[in-house]
Structure 1
Amino acid sequence: MTAELFPDDATRIVPARRLTGRVSRVLAAMGEDFATTQVDDLPFTFDGIPGDVHAGTTRRSGGREPWYPRGTEMRNERQLSVLAADELEEVARLMEIDRLLPEWIGANLVLEGLPRLSMIPPRTRLVFENGAVLRVDGQNAPCRSAGKGIAAHFPEREGLDLLFPKVAKRLRGLVAWVEKPGVVTPGETVIANMPEQWIYEE
């Protein structure tokens, strides 16, 4: 019975692995808007980035959580937005604009050297050289609000707010929460400790 229920080749397991990258920029949203500005360093507490618009142990549910009534208090797994420089360049190319700055779409961290950052799986630990650790929740789905942040810089172009969600899928980076507090600075090394991966099928 066990052999039938759990054949050896039923699930392909991708072993855990480690990748090394570098912190390029650190940013924070210290106002009421999600747009960020560059800072010298980024302190992490268990609530996220102190003073940042997305800080907090909990948050209110919105359109991304249709299984809850809007405004339900829930765990904040979206404390930080993590983006990749090469993916930003690719989204800009697809949108046919000459640049896409991470602060326009609320980035807190811009990383380099981690290929296909947006495809890094949930539960990955991002371990920073100075000791801080983030836990990846998953991909950050592109939305029209971020698209409006881009469109504001190209008033001569119509429809960029709607184009962004279409072309930036799986290129929008990751959302993460603080597992171990610390301070992150530009130039430091980050190691992505990825867990085993598999596709669940019945």
Structure 2
Amino acid sequence: MQQTTTTPDLFPEAETPIEIIPARKLAAKVTALYVAPFDHFETRAVDELRLGFDGIDGDFHAGATRRSGGREPWYPRGTEMRNERQLSVVAADELAIVAARMGLAEIKPEWIGANLLIEGLPHLSMLPSGTLLFFRGGVTVKVDAQNGPCRIAGRSVAEHAGMADQEAGALAFPKAAKRLRGLVAWVEKPGCIVAGEEISVRVPEQWIYRA
């Protein structure tokens, strides 16, 4: 009598399936553009950004690599590593929330070293890693992660806003700006970005990894 064998299921369904949120497309627009001098992180407004694979030519954060700092405690400080922080992207509505939390009239993008001010994307800082920004002029930028707020940016805010206790302001900013400080990104496809340019945003599939 011929025996039949059963092929084991190599991919059995998990008892608790992982929820997959489909990819989606959104639209946005460039409100303003900024560049940092090569020797300081604060930026100034410009009409266009010329981007190469190293980021913005002459910008403080330009380069294919960078030195590790406090955000990378797994490396000795100053270790050369890939530069995934070529661009800082922020939204006006989120900066307004941070300003209100700190009791300020405003926080300008230049004060915290932003390169791109974008409008039309709700909860900009919550866009996941891997999100692609396709600019109408041909540039593509890929989101690396949220930009964690720090006391250096906080001190700049406190100084520009004329806070009486600038050290307290520097300490308040990281708490007030948590998950509202925008994103860091890098150049996937170089070119030129101009103010007012339209952006097609592709948010990738998302899921929560649980071992």
TM-score by length of 1: 0.96
Question: After the TM superposition, which residues 68-83 of structure 1 pair with which residues of structure 2 at under 5 Å, given as runs?
Answer: 68-83=75-90
What residue is the counterpart of 1:30 in the other structure?
37
1:96 equivalent to 2:114? Answer: no
CA distance in 1, matches of 2:96, 2:200: 22
CA distance in 2, matches of 1:166, 1:126: 28
Runs of 4+ in 1 over 2 A off after TM superposition: 1-9, 154-157
Question: After the TM superposition, which residues 47-66 of structure 1 pair with which residues of structure 2 at under 5 Å, given as runs?
Answer: 47-66=54-73
Tell me which amino acid in the other structure corresponds to 1:112.
E
1:188 equivalent to 2:200? Answer: no
Match of 1:160 among 158, 169, 179: 169
Please say if residues 163 and 169 of structure 2, whose CA atoms lie closer than 8 Å, have aligned partners that are also in contact.
no
Match of 2:180 among 145, 161, 171: 171
TM-fit CA distance, 1:146: 0.3
| The structure with more radius of gyration | 2
* Long gaps (5+) in structure 2: 1-7
What residue is the counterpart of 2:146 in the other structure?
139
Secondary structure, counterpart of 2:153 in structure 1? helix
TM-fit CA distance, 1:4: 7.8
Alpha-carbon RMSD across the aligned residues, in angstroms, is 1.4
Tell me which amino acid in the other structure corresponds to 1:16.
A
Kindly tell me: are residues 153 and 125 of structure 1, through their superposed partners in 2, closer, same or farther at Cα, counting changes over 3 Å? same
Question: Number of residue pairs matched?
Answer: 202
* Long gaps (5+) in structure 1: none
Secondary structure, counterpart of 1:165 in structure 2? helix
Match of 1:18 among 20, 25, 36: 25
CA distance in 1, matches of 2:192, 2:90: 18
What residue is the counterpart of 1:87 in the other structure?
94
TM-score by length of 2: 0.92
Deviations 1:172-200 (A, max 9, x none): 00000000001101111011101100000
Kindly tell me: are residues 110 and 8 of structure 1, through their superposed partners in 2, closer, same or farther at Cα, counting changes over 3 Å? farther
